[in-house]
Amino acid sequence: MTATTDRASVVRIANCSGFYGDRIAAARDMVEGGPIDVLTGDYLAELTMLILAKAQRKDPGAGYAKTFLTQIEQVLGTCLDRGIRIVANAGGLNPAGLAGAVRDVAAELGLDARVAHVQGDDLR
């Protein structure tokens, strides 16, 4: 093992959440706190899944972490400017719904963002 690293192979990842309701300012803190390449968010704690399921029972269009949208609104422009990728499982029970909502936020901000989501793992 060598003491030096090839900077081209370094990927700096910052995580901004561990559950639905985690600190809203965390995404902004991570993006503004230092150079990063990827901003991640983990929202699938057991309690979060219960909250999302209850919300989706009331509204079939729900089922994703709406606080993620607030975080995205705060950092999307900066992330696009700096080439920071955002990867999150905040879609919970409705990844397509969250992807659409993120596209809406980007449009409201006048930003052109590529948004993707993964479908197919709903075991219910």
Domain limits of the chain? 10-108
Q: What is the pLDDT of residue 37?
A: 97
pLDDT in tens, 111-124: 999 999 998 876 66
Q: What is the pLDDT of residue 3?
A: 53
Q: What is the pLDDT of residue 7?
A: 63
Q: What is the pLDDT of residue 22?
A: 85
The list of the chain residues with pLDDT below 50 reads 1
List phi, psi (to 5°) of 57: -65, -35
Tell me the pTM: 0.87
Q: Please, what is the Cα angle at 12 between 104 and 26, to 5 degrees?
A: 50
Q: What is the pLDDT of residue 5?
A: 58
